[in-house]
Amino acid sequence: MNFYGQWRLLSFSRPADLLLLYCVIFSSLWWTGESDTSQDDVNALQAMLNSWGPRSSYILKWHGDDPCGSKWIGIKCDDSSPQRVTSIELSGLGLSGDIPPDISLLTELRTLDLSYNRLTGSIPTQIGELSHLSKLYLQYNYLNGGIPPEIGNIKNLSYISLNGNSLKGSIPHEIGLLENLFWLDLAKNDLSGGLPYSGDGGSSKNVGLDNLTKANHFHLNNNSFSGPIPEALCHERMSLIHLILDSNLLTGNIPSGLGLCGNLLIMKLNNNQLGGTIPQEISLLTNLTELQLHDNQLVGPLPDLSNFTNLALLDVSNNQLNMEFPLWMNSLRSLTDLDMSSASVSGTISASFFELPFLTAVKLANNEINGTLDLSMDTSQLMLLSMENNKIDSFTTAKYPPSVIRLFGNPVCETSKSTLSGELCQTNSSSSVSTYGQGNCSNTCPSGYQVYPAECSCAIPYEGVLIYRAPSFTQLINQTVLSVLASALAENLSVQRTQVVIKSAEFNAQNQLTVEIAVFPNGAEIRWSRDDFLKMSSILGRDGVAPDGFGPPMFQQSSFDYSVGSDTNGNTLSTVAIIGICIGSAALASIIIGVTCFVCLRKDKKNNKAAELSNPFGAWNTDWRDNDSAPKLKGARYFTFAELKKASNNFSESNEIGSGGYGKVYRGILTDGQQVAIKRAQTNSMQGAPEFKNEIELLSRVHHKNVVGLVGFCCDQGEQMLVYEYMAGGNLRDCLTGRSRIKLDWRRRIMIALGSARGITYLHELVSPPIIHRDIKSTNILLDEKKIAKVADFGLSKIAPEQDSRNQHVSTQVKGTLGYLDPEYYTTQQLTEKSDVYSFGVVLLELLTARTPIEHGKYVVKKVKEAVDKGGISAIRSMLDPRIKEESGIELNSFLHIALSCVEDTASARPSMGEVVKQLEEMVGHDYPESGSSNVDTPPKGVPARHLYGSDSEYMHTSRDSSDPSFPTSNIALSFGSR
């Protein structure tokens, strides 16, 4: 191609753009400014890039020598001068090479996330010099060597995730020096030796795992640890909720001292060589939801576990228990999955056992159980009853599908006696399920691409394997459970349900559910962007997706080839050619061009500013992801007026589900079948375009399972509309007053209180800038189809007034609803998060009494306080909702105490919402979330160091984009609901 042809390829829309290119070239060639970044940090990052090779350079596209000023991918910095690197987040990019010793230069580093890459070599000992490091994520690489003892020098470490590597050697005793450690995951390595503890003589400093009193998680499974489990591992000061030691070479007896870890929710000691009897002290662990002791050499009967009212999964299979099936099993009201296969169990099973309300799978094959198997009570939850090879001689049943019951190898199946269906007495096939198919698509795709079934197009999906270590079910009888998982994945990844494809699902030899998934890009896109890839890697790899009953997940990400599908157009000029052309063309006119560039750019900037003020939505289009000037949205999409008009049946009256001062709310159905709530502003409620843009940017950053999520927005044809997820369960007020068909028992009320408290805590503590709701009330707490509570209703936001010296907001207009309104806020006009706490306390009293906040001109808060002052809980029993009067007085009293602490007259006397969440969790007795748990392998980013399974697991979608200069950094107070 001649020079003129090359020059024509440099097609720019404006002269100023061409001049800008000249300026950039001349600046880089003839002038070098000072870097905003500390030179030590620049050197460290450059050493990492050099160690990782040219392929990683292509992936990262780190250019220049100013990581902070140039906003290098995955790098975050502080505001000091010079700026220091505080976070490196490069998960799932296929990086290869070593971690260089120069990493020690990053002395202000707080987070190091190199997970899900191809890194090799050892963890450098110099990592111990990162004194400020709090989170270390190196899971799922190819690292070898040992865990450096120097890691004990990092006193601020709260998360260590080294799982899924090839690390060898023993756990260094020095890890016991990490007094702030919350999360320790060393699973799936080649580690060996004993479990270190302070009294084993292996350390001059007498430290070990038992010194980690703040740790909630020990995940040490799938290694080669040997020797006994230390008696000293548990003591009364330990905070463990997960003790996962399965699939090792541990020997000896189960120590009775484990009974001192009273906070445990999950204990897995299976697949070891443990012997002896199961100690009685295990019965002290009454908070357990999962207990797995299978595949050991245990003998003797199980201790009485009748107080394990939260236990969902019990697996003691493949041991020699030599016991009769215990009657106390009938007391396990939360039990979903029982496996006592090949455990030398005899006797009969009472019919009442099968009446347990949540019982889903029972596996008792290869035992000596005899007598009559009585299933005359129709327990619709039961999906599997495996009784092969026992001594059952008669059978009574309700109408169960033959696939549910397995009786092969019992006398009842002998031909001469049996009249049973042949299917009941046949062996059953594997529970593997394969769901991937091209549907009605007949097209084929080139190498590296796959058919996207929803659109019959070719694309490159994001792929990986989810492994659920302890699901509360053991069979895939149908695909309903996988549909639930696919919907949860779509919700957490902020994609359409059709974009998530489950390619296969099966249980492995360890009874772990393995699910192969593919997430396809939508629309005209053929591949995911780097930002999308990083986001999905973070959600799946570190935060986890685990619907109710699936148990803790791991994620193994497939490699992602950035070269496939990238722009390789042969007509594109190389960088060298462009530079050569520009230098040759501009060398004689550089000074003139520089001056002209300066003048033109100033003028262009003024014009752009004027255009933005007159029409700030002018740069918006439906492909805003590719438009740097568009609002920075997190999962929300743009709708045209025509789309929403069609979805709402022309905004028909029959679709209207609510109204207020802001406008009307309509139920809509999008083209993909998703139900939504469309909030249409009336003319006098509309904001100016800049405010509406800021509003949407804020709301799109709010992603939490207990906050109603923004699906999208419309700013078209003079309309302003917000589109939210549809809440089929209605609002809490209607449920309490009987206007809804939903009936709320005591347990569900507690979970609604806990869920909504978590949502408000998220708004207060984890959104940046924080959000003060200002109108918490029972009509703004909505329930989805699973009765999970979500805080609503996001009206148009208002920037909170400036804070005074006491971090209070001085407001000239008090907002809220009478009866819920904080009296201190009303009188002083000083707004804090404690105003929301007061309103939430009123909601808690509603859950107790089912009464409105104001009855016959009297405030319920005042009436309850007066009654309690006279005689405690017994004095208000007459005020309680009759549907819960028979509940435990202890629980009611605890709940009332929390409510009254929230409605104290002065804000300083009230707890924070985070403290309320903790109190509700403690009252419930464990931290089991209302809709599943979260990731066992990797913790979420930006989560306070408590524990992941429960409240913190639900903060997995926080968006702290305070570094974004286009977004206000002051606190936000939302005026929810009607105006």
H or E element: which one contains 26?
helix 15-30
Nearest to 14 by CA among 605, 802, 880, 717: 605
As a whole number of angstroms, the distance between CA 531 and CA 93 comes to: 11
* Max intra-chain CA distance, the chain: 106
As a whole number of angstroms, the distance between CA 651 and CA 664 comes to: 9
What Cα–Cα distance (Å) separates residue 729 from each residue in 114, 150, 782, 931?
A: 42, 53, 7, 15
Q: Which residues contact 794 (CB under 8 A, 6 or more apart)?
A: 699, 702, 708, 710, 722, 724, 974, 976
Phi/psi class of residue 525: alpha, beta or left (left: φ > 0; alpha: ψ in -120 to 50)? beta
As to burial, measured by CB atoms within 10 angstroms (0-12 exposed, 13-18 middle, 19+ buried), residue 177 is: buried
- Identify whether the C-beta of residue 243 lies closer than 8 Å to the C-beta of residue 290: no
- Other CB atoms closer than 10 Å to residue 412's CB: what's the count? 21
Nearest to 864 by CA among 599, 878, 533, 364: 878
Backbone angles phi, psi at 626, to 5 degrees: -100, 10
As a whole number of angstroms, the distance between CA 315 and CA 386 comes to: 14
As a whole number of angstroms, the distance between CA 466 and CA 515 comes to: 5
Q: Give the strand pairing for 391-397 and 368-375.
A: parallel
Number of residues that make up the chain: 979
Which residue is it, tokens 């799982």? Answer: 163
Torsion angle defined by CA atoms of residues 318, 319, 322 and 323, in that order, rounded to the nearest 10 degrees: -70
Q: Is 628 a known active-site residue?
A: no
- Identify whether the C-beta of residue 90 lies closer than 8 Å to the C-beta of residue 117: yes
Q: Give the strand pairing for 663-669 and 656-659.
A: antiparallel
Which residue is it, tokens 């709940």? Answer: 895
Nearest to 228 by CA among 193, 253, 203: 253
As a whole number of angstroms, the distance between CA 142 and CA 99 comes to: 11
Q: Which of 315, 543, 775, 822 is catalytic?
A: 775
Phi/psi class of residue 661: alpha, beta or left (left: φ > 0; alpha: ψ in -120 to 50)? alpha
Query: Does residue 417 have a known ligand-binding role?
Result: no
Annotated binding site for ATP: 679
Binding-site residues from annotation? 679
Tell me which residues are annotated as active site.
Answer: 775
